[in-house]
């Protein structure tokens, strides 16, 4: 599938303005960092740029609840901050990618440093490592709930303020699917639990960072979204070819 964004795409000024607003302290926040929830509408507006000119390309699903054990009475769940999905008639929706977000670290980010410089900051990279562990648990819940094929890789975008990176999770074996990083269980596979523990304790890996509002960010985001277009092609066609409702609404 071709990219939807033109190679000469220029980030609209109103989106760059949105990023600046998201990192600014208001008069009521003189000594406080902007809250985490301000990142959600910002991310949403940037995602919607990638839905044109095909409105049925994906749907943004906030606060998606994924049961850790879909069968039975266990109500424990994983909840990505946001996800891109494709709904379809008579079948579970397809999961394209997940998103986890933390609030801006104002001291290091308010003046929008270059992503490459910020990637050298150990405090920031530790936070991205923690986000990755959380995202991996959520990716396992996606598999358990049958929203992707068992053998596929699941992209997760991880944001701290307007800066982001991504990681592909999976495929997982049965032992790995029994283990969560943040909420350990007595029924989890022992070997996979040890493996997960060492992963959580390792030095945060180097990651390439992107900044919303730049062309590099837009192109990388488009590449990640486009990588799932083949997987969701039939559902996109279903949405785009759906006929007018055969009922009369009052």
The predicted pLDDT at position 113 comes to 97
Domain boundaries, the chain: 13-240
Q: Which pLDDT tens digit goes with each residue over 39-83?
A: 999 999 999 999 877 778 999 999 999 999 998 787 889 999 999
Cis peptide before 53 (omega within 30 of 0): yes
Give Cα 212 to chain centroid, integer Å: 14
The DSSP output letter for 19 is H
Rounded Cα gap, residues 68 and 84, in angstroms: 19
The pair of three-digit structure tokens given for residue 41, joined into one six-digit string = 């509408």
The pair of three-digit structure tokens given for residue 17, joined into one six-digit string = 């303005």
pTM for the whole structure: 0.91
Q: Which pLDDT tens digit goes with each residue over 74-124?
A: 788 999 999 999 999 999 999 999 999 999 998 999 999 999 999 999 999
- Residue 35 pLDDT greater than 70, yes or no: no
Torsion of CA 4, 7, 12, 18, to 10 degrees: 80
The residue to which tokens 């709904």 are assigned? 87
pLDDT interval class at 165 (50, 70, 90): very high
The pair of three-digit structure tokens given for residue 188, joined into one six-digit string = 């989890």
Q: Which pLDDT tens digit goes with each residue over 109-164?
A: 999 999 999 999 999 999 999 999 999 999 999 999 999 998 999 999 999 999 99
The pair of three-digit structure tokens given for residue 125, joined into one six-digit string = 């990279």
User: Residue 59 forms beta bridges with which residues?
Assistant: 85
- Residue 30 pLDDT greater than 80, yes or no: no
The predicted pLDDT at position 146 comes to 95
The pair of three-digit structure tokens given for residue 187, joined into one six-digit string = 């029924």
């Amino acid at each position: 599938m071709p990219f939807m964004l033109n190679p000469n795409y220029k980030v609209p000024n109103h989106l760059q303005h949105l990023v600046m607003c998201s990192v600014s302290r208001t008069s009521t926040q003189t000594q406080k960092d902007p809250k985490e929830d301000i990142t959600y509408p910002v991310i949403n507006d940037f995602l919607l740029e990638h839905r044109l000119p095909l409105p049925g390309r994906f749907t943004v699903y906030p606060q998606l609840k994924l049961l850790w054990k879909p069968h039975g009475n266990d109500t424990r769940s994983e909840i990505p901050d946001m996800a891109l999905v494709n709904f379809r008639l008579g079948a579970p929706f397809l999961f394209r990618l997940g998103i986890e977000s933390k609030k801006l670290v104002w001291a290091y980010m308010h003046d929008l440093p270059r992503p490459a410089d910020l990637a050298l900051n150990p405090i920031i990279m530790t936070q991205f490592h923690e986000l990755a562990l959380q995202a991996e648990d959520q990716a396992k819940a996606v598999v358990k709930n049958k929203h992707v094929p068992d053998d596929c890789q699941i992209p997760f975008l991880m944001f701290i303020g307007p800066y982001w990176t991504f990681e592909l999770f999976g495929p997982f074996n049965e032992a790995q699917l029994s283990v969560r990083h943040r909420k350990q269980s007595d029924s989890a596979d022992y070997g996979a639990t040890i493996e997960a523990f060492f992963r959580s304790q390792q030095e945060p890996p180097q990651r390439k960072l992107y900044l919303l509002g730049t062309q590099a960010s837009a192109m990388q985001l488009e590449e990640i979204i486009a990588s799932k277009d083949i997987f969701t092609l039939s559902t996109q066609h279903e949405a785009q070819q759906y006929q007018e409702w055969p009922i009369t609404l009052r």
